[in-house]
Structure formats: structure tokens, C-alpha cells
């Protein structure tokens, strides 16, 4: 909705739509999903292989520490947006603030993998094909962010992936 509201190129919108579809498919492959007739209608739980792995323990530790930083930062961003940013309407304010929080959460959500790699002293769970795909995807995103019309926050989110990728490589 944010990309549509800010007159973004259809190439970016379609790419994000495909990304949402791929991420939804990945969730169905990595988790157990159960449907029920009671609210919230969908229950997502960890797969059995993940439940008993050291990765889950390290993931929980990393997310705990990241959340200590994330919530105050997101709260401060909301206050900053109220005070210093001009919005067309309440809808635009809510949309811009939520998107800013989502982009920040995307960055915060990628960092536990760095901690997991450090604690396990290994990156063998990431195949070379996946690493090469990430490398190409990062370069292509950067090139498109300069060429195609898109909101500034979305452009910045392309560069946040570069920071994490460089640390992954290190």
C-alpha cells in the first residue's frame, strides 16, 4: 500500500508482490501451519527439526537483545515522524510510520543470523548457491534503486541489506 501510495514504478511493486509470495511459500515449508474456526484462525508453530536445534536457542537470545533496542528506536521514530514530518492525512502518517517500522524491523530481523553464525562458528548451513543468489540480488537491488522511481525509505531499505551482506561475508 505504501508503494502504491507513493507512485512507485510497477516494476518495484510487482517485484515486492513476488517477494511476498515467495516468503509465504517459505513459511509453509519451514513451519507447521494449522487452521481453526476460532480467532486467530491460523496457528503457525516451529518445525520439529528447528525446535530441537541449537539454532533456536541462539535465535531467541539474539532476538531478545535486539528487541531491547528495537522497541525504543521504533517508538522514537514514531515521535519523530509526528513532530518533524509533514503528512497529507492520518492515513499517510500511519502508513509511513508503519512502513518505517517494517523496514527497521527487516534490518533487525536479519541481524540474529550474524549472531547464530558467530556462535555456531559455521556458515555451512548456507549453500554456496544461496550465497551467490544473495550477492546478485543485492547488486541488482542497488542498481535498480538508482534507476527506478521509488520512495526514499524503500531505497534506503535496499542499502540496509548491503550492510548485513557485507557482515555475512566477513
In contact, 44 and 67? CB cutoff 8 Å: no
- Residue-level pLDDT, tens digit, the chain, 170 residues: 878 887 778 888 888 889 889 988 988 888 888 888 888 888 888 877 777 777 788 888 888 888 888 889 888 988 988 898 888 888 888 888 888 888 877 777 777 777 777 777 776 666 677 767 777 877 787 787 777 777 777 777 777 777 777 777 77
Secondary element (H or E) of residue 45: strand 42-46
Strands 31-35 and 42-46: antiparallel
Amino acid at each position: 500500500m505504501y508503494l502504491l501510495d507513493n507512485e512507485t514504478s510497477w516494476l518495484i511493486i510487482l517485484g515486492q508482490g513476488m517477494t511476498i509470495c515467495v516468503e509465504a511459500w517459505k513459511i509453509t515449508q519451514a513451519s507447521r501451519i494449522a487452521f481453526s474456526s476460532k480467532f486467530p484462525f491460523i496457528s503457525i508453530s516451529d518445525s520439529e527439526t528447528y525446535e530441537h536445534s541449537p539454532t533456536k536457542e541462539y535465535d531467541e537470545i539474539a532476538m531478545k537483545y535486539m528487541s531491547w533496542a528495537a522497541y525504543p528506536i521504533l517508538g522514537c521514530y514514531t515521535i519523530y515522524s509526528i513532530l518533524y514530518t509533514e503528512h497529507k492525512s492520518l492515513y499517510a502518517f500511519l502508513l509511513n510510520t508503519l512502513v518505517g517500522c517494517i523496514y527497521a524491523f527487516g534490518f533487525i530481523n536479519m541481524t540474529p543470523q550474524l549472531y547464530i553464525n558467530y556462535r555456531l562458528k559455521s556458515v555451512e548451513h548456507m549453500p554456496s548457491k544461496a550465497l551467490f543468489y544473495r550477492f546478485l540480488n543485492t547488486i541488482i537491488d542497488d542498481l535498480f534503486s538508482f534507476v527506478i522511481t521509488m520512495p526514499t525509505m524503500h531505497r534506503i531499505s535496499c542499502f540496509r541489506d548491503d550492510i548485513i551482506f557485507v557482515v555475512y561475508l566477513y
